[in-house]
Amino acid sequence: MARMSDCTDPRFREVMTSLVRHLHAFLREVDLRPQEWLAAIEFLTATGQACNERRQEFILLSDTLGASMAVVALDQARALRCDAPSAASATEATVQGPFYWEGAPDLALGCDLRAAGVAGEPAYYAGEVTDTAGRPLAGALLDIWSGDGEGVYDMQVEGQGMTLRGRLRTDADGRYRFWSIRPTEYPVPTDGPVGVMLKRMGRHPMRPGHIHLKVSADGHVPLTTHLFGRGGRYLDSDAVFGVRDSLIVDYERHEPGTAPDGRRLEQPYYTVRYDFRLAPRSGDPTDPR
């Protein structure tokens, strides 16, 4: 740690000093053998080698060790310290996951994210985006993505273009609406180093059904979150520790007929209502958010 005395970045020095201290304490605590350390290096090497433009094994590793969710929780706690007291009522955040794909298409309000032939039961999502005082946020951006009805993301299919992804903006009253599917539970990828780790730890790889959203508006803290279906399996044992009770929603089932937006469906469908609340952005110029 003394070797870092000439480091000119105080935050970097703080982080690295703590990392070295805890790393060496860990090595002493478990009395790590050389072959175990080599195995760890080989595991991390294999994790990097498993990454490509459509797969981020290191994010999966972070998620399944609970590190991603810990960082999310710390960030929200920081918002409560830095922002207005009303920030406490902001919608809770959760992990982004490894399947976010930059550049989803901009679509009209009320759009249908389902492509022809995509597996999954139709679901209509609607609600409002407001600030933490309940004022509607016109023009707020929702960036939405999910796996299909079999739990498969487009990124996992070779040659597959974007499906079940899109960006839309709220109307003048802060309201949003779109069609997608009712998500289903699925396993995180287990054909790489993280899958081997989970198996050796005696853990299952399953995630409860959920849909991902990034919600943002000028002057407010961006939100990355999920919506989970009530009653789903694995809500209490999510492989990436991402479930929060406030993000569990009801999928109300309807028989074939006229949907809330006036379209006629010849198959059963679901409706979901959820309102997102964004915290005001901190006035602290040193806050990177």
Same domain, 247 and 206: yes
Alpha helices (H) in 67-174, listed in sequence order: 67-82
Same domain, 144 and 264: yes
Range of the domain at 215: 50-278
Please tell me whether residues 256 and 184 are part of one structural domain.
yes
Clarify whether residues 188 and 90 are in a common domain.
yes
Q: For residue 284, give the H/E element and its range.
A: none
Q: Are residues 229 and 138 in the same domain?
A: yes
Q: Residues 39, 56: one domain?
A: no
User: How many domains, the chain?
Assistant: 2
Question: Are 36 and 160 in the same domain?
Answer: no
Q: Do 131 and 268 belong together in one domain?
A: yes
Across 44-67, b (16+ Cβ under 10 Å) vs e yields: eeebeebeeeebbbbbbbbbbeee
pLDDT, tens digit, 9 for 90 and up, residues 80-94:
665 555 566 899 999
pLDDT tens profile 247-271 = 999 999 999 999 999 999 999 999 9
Condensed to tens digits (0 to 9), the pLDDT of residues 214-233 reads 999 999 999 999 999 999 99
| 37/125 same-domain check | no
Q: Domain holding 171: CATH number?
A: 2.60.130.10
271: exposed, middle or buried (C-beta count within 10 Å: 0-12, 13-18, 19+)?
middle
- Bridge partners (DSSP) listed for residue 269: 254
Q: Are residues 177 and 106 part of one domain? A: yes
| pLDDT per residue rounded down to tens, the chain (289 residues) | 999 999 999 999 999 999 999 999 999 999 999 999 999 999 999 999 999 988 899 999 999 999 999 999 998 888 766 555 556 689 999 999 989 999 999 999 999 999 877 899 999 999 999 999 999 999 999 999 999 999 999 988 888 889 999 999 999 999 999 999 999 999 999 999 999 999 999 999 999 999 999 999 999 999 999 999 999 999 999 999 999 999 999 999 999 999 999 999 999 999 999 999 999 887 544 454 4
